[in-house]
């Protein structure tokens, strides 16, 4: 699957699109994109890439990946430049490029860079003993099978009251379910039709 940072690029609309991907929405609309295959920027900072792989505990030889990708990129450039030549030459260049496709695929398989938070990370919330207190009082239940945490008793009433007050204060706000929203975005990103998939109730 192409990540969003690798999927789109600003290019002149007059040029010939080489790789096409389309998604039919079921309403007659068709979305066509030209995936970005110029991934040379990934290897501009090899140390940063190596650190990202180490933090993800990924055992990938980035030197070998870069070498294979460079070979594929040269073949790709040759194929693009042969557009005005004879059909036989273009076909030969395209075949040579396809033979080195492992270089492109290995580069596409690289994970996104790990975000750097700096040397000192500022905690978002102050340390508290609320969870420990609720557990000791029997007001916190953890479902081991699903990994879901439930409040029990009075804390539930307080939570519902606070939620009700907030909804009254921000009655104009549009409620969004993060899980449903992200799920739809993922389905759209991987080119999966929404109709046959299960929906959250």
Do 55 and 134 belong together in one domain? no
Same domain, yes or no: 169 and 104: no
Query: Do 24 and 98 sit in the same domain of this protein?
Result: yes
Residues 159 and 85 in one domain: no
Chain-centroid distance, C-alpha 64: 24
51 plus 101 within the same structural domain:
yes
The residues near 99 (Cβ < 8 Å, ≥ 6 apart) are 75
**Is residue 200 one of the residues assigned to a domain?**
no
Verify that 8 and 87 share a domain, yes or no.
yes
Q: How far is CA 190 from CA 6, 21, 34, in A?
A: 13, 11, 15
Task: Calculate the average pLDDT of the chain.
Answer: 75
Same domain, 98 and 153: no
Q: Distance (Å, rounded) from C-alpha 3 to C-alpha 1?
A: 6
pTM given for the model: 0.46
Domain end, chosen from 77, 108, 139, is at 108
- Is 124 within the bounds of a domain? no
Integer Cα distance of 5 and 33 in angstroms: 13
Please tell me the distance from the alpha carbon of residue 151 to that of residue 135, in angstroms, as a whole number.
Answer: 9
DSSP helix/strand/coil, 29: coil
Q: pLDDT per residue over 162-186, tens digit each?
A: 989 988 998 888 777 766 767 767 6
User: Do 88 and 180 belong to one domain?
Assistant: no
- Count of beta carbons in the 10 Å neighbourhood of residue 158: 11
The residue range of the domain holding 177 is: 130-189
117-159 confidence digits (pLDDT tens)? 556 666 666 777 777 888 888 888 888 887 788 888 888 888 8
Statement to judge: residues 97 and 135 lie in one domain: no
Tell me, yes or no, whether 91 and 10 share the same domain: yes
């Amino acid at each position: 699957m192409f990540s969003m940072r690798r999927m789109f690029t600003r290019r002149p609309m007059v040029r010939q699109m080489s790789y096409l991907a389309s998604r039919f929405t079921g309403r007659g609309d068709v979305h066509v994109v030209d995936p970005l295959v110029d991934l040379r920027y990934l290897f501009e900072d090899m140390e940063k890439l190596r650190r990202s792989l180490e933090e993800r505990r990924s055992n990938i030889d980035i030197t070998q990946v870069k070498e294979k990708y460079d070979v594929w990129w040269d073949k790709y450039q040759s194929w693009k430049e042969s557009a005005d030549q004879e059909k036989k030459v273009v076909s030969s260049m395209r075949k040579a490029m396809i033979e080195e496709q492992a270089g492109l695929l290995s580069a596409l398989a690289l994970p996104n860079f790990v975000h750097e938070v700096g040397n000192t990370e500022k905690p978002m919330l102050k340390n508290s003993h609320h969870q420990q207190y609720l557990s000791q009082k029997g007001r916190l239940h953890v479902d081991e099978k699903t990994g879901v945490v439930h409040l029990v008793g009075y804390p539930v009433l307080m939570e519902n009251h606070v939620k009700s007050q907030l909804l009254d204060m921000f009655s104009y706000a549009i409620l969004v379910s993060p899980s449903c929203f992200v799920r739809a975005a993922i389905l759209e990103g991987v080119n999966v039709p929404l109709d046959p998939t299960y929906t959250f109730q």
